[in-house]
Amino acid sequence: MEITKFYLNIKTKSRHLNDISSDVNECLGKSKISNGLCSLFIKHTSASLLIQENADPAVLRDIESFFSRLVSEDSDLYEHNSEGPDDMPAHIRSLLTNSSLSIPITNSKLELGIWQGIYLYEHRNQSHNRKVIVNIFGE
């Protein structure tokens, strides 16, 4: 069994689901692994990883709209606000989503559904440089 590791540095857009599918596919191509598993891990507590629809951009806008209503930026609600009013809400959004993903690989392709993409979901009001570890293992 082979194991390869890659580090992605992603410059995000603020409060946005940033499509990183092509970045992950590029790692898979470099790995030369045809069957196995792709594991992703984000090294942050105010952003997350999602697999979501990649066909209709309205889905991504609706997700952000939903999270804006679900987790407000009311500074009276939180004690932790050292980095601004979006700091604690970003942590809550992160705990409601994922910090890691696992995607099967078959015949050198990620086994995503036809309408699925991989997204780095930035929960902060500003863009950030985010780090994602991509481990690909198999044969």
Q: What is the pTM of this model?
A: 0.96
Q: Examine the pLDDT at 98 and tell me if it is beyond 90.
A: yes
Number of domains in the chain: 1
Which structural domain range is residue 10 located in?
2-138
**What is the spatial distance between Cα 80 and Cα 8, in angstroms, rounded to a whole number?**
29
Please compute the mean of the pLDDT values over residues 106-117 and round it to a whole number: 98
**What is the spatial distance between Cα 133 and Cα 36, in angstroms, rounded to a whole number?**
17
In this structure, what CATH number is given to the domain that contains residue 23?
Answer: 2.60.120.460
Q: Examine the pLDDT at 82 and tell me if it is beyond 90.
A: no
**What is the spatial distance between Cα 44 and Cα 130, in angstroms, rounded to a whole number?**
7
- Closest C-alpha to 131, from 74, 47, 66, 58: 47
Please compute the mean of the pLDDT values over residues 110-132 and round it to a whole number: 98
